[in-house]
Amino acid sequence: VTRMKVTLKYEESESEDLHMTLRLTLPQKYVSGDAIEVVKLFVNHYNKKHTESLLAAEDLHLKIVGGNHLKNNDVVGDELSTGDECYLLGKDSTQPIKRPGASAGYSASVPPPPAPVAPAASSKAATRNADGKIRCKNFGCQQFFDPDGSPQDCLHHKAAPIFHETAKWWSCCDNTKAYDWEEFMRIPGCTKGFCAGAKEGQKRFLGGADLRGDNAPVRLDADAPRDPRHKLDDMRKGLVAIGVDGALFEHAWSRMAAETADLEKVCDVFSARFTSLLSTADV
């Protein structure tokens, strides 16, 4: 095997903001090398994204979903097959942490749906730097800001990133792709607003009026349709609920996205196929 496709997942943190899934095509040097090199590769990607919660490769090891734990000196090609999924676990961990709401009906390769977000912006206090500032949680913004001070202008992406093999892009700006991390992080944002200590979906108000309503973020594409990533996630949840392997669905739409380079087209294809299936089903 000269190249190998694998999916690596880190879910050891209690905060879902610090989870990460990375789909990679490993070149020959990693396939014929030790497992620790794959761990280091994942950690390198993770630490660039989560500078407030750095991982150490020597504290982690690989665990094949439904299979064995790998020692860090095991040869990758001897233990893994293309298409395998692995968790990155701590030294003393034997299984991934079970999340609230998990049930026996889920495939081992599919993480359970996230627990509802509490009205408070985040379940974990943000880490402050030496100046008492925290890092903005908006996608693509690397600024630090004072959450207790005046609003700080922010130009960010409104939707999550996609990593497919060596390509990286933002799902809200899928016409611009990058092939290294620095280039990816330089892709300009599409949404104007203010730096925030919680991702968009975690922001809640307890009632009454938003005192900063007049200063709410102004989107450059306010009339844009719903993000197709959200549509695909809703489809996956529905399929998993009736017993379909969520990983199989993710693999299917990832392949279609790579071929069409258009997530909206992927949604349209699924819509047409499901409609055709239902219309021809015997009642």
Q: Where are the domains of the chain?
A: 4-90, 134-159+182-215, 228-280
Express as a percent the part of the chain with pLDDT over 70: 76
Q: Please check the confidence at residue 202 and state whether its pLDDT lies above 60.
A: no
Q: Please check the confidence at residue 100 and state whether its pLDDT lies above 50.
A: no
Mean of pLDDT values over 58-74: 90
Handedness of CA 218, 176, 181, 165 (dihedral sign): positive
Which H, E and C letters describe 195-246, residue by residue? CCCCCHHHCCCCCCCCCCHHHCCCECCCCCCCCHHHHHHHHHHHHHHCCCCH
pLDDT for position 226:
61
Q: Please check the confidence at residue 85 and state whether its pLDDT lies above 70.
A: yes
Q: Which residue has the higher pLDDT, 27 or 128?
A: 27
pLDDT for position 126:
58
Strand 20-26 and strand 177-178: the pairing is unpaired
What confidence category does residue 261 fall into, taking pLDDT thresholds of 50, 70 and 90? Answer: confident
CATH architecture assignment, domain 4-90: Roll (3.10)
What confidence category does residue 83 fall into, taking pLDDT thresholds of 50, 70 and 90? Answer: confident
Which tens digit of pLDDT belongs to each residue from 241-256?
888 888 888 888 888 8
Q: Please check the confidence at residue 68 and state whether its pLDDT lies above 50.
A: yes
Mean of pLDDT values over 178-204: 78
pLDDT for position 165:
66
pLDDT for position 33:
92
Q: Please check the confidence at residue 36 and state whether its pLDDT lies above 90.
A: yes
| 176 contact partners, CB below 8 Å, separation of at least 6 | 169, 170, 187
User: Which of the residue ranges 20-24, 165-169, 273-277 would you say has the lowest mean pLDDT?
Assistant: 165-169
pLDDT for position 7:
93
Mean of pLDDT values over 215-223: 42
Q: Please check the confidence at residue 224 and state whether its pLDDT lies above 60.
A: no
Which tens digit of pLDDT belongs to each residue from 122-164?
444 556 777 788 888 888 888 889 888 888 999 998 888 888 7
Contact 24, 48 (CB under 8 A): no
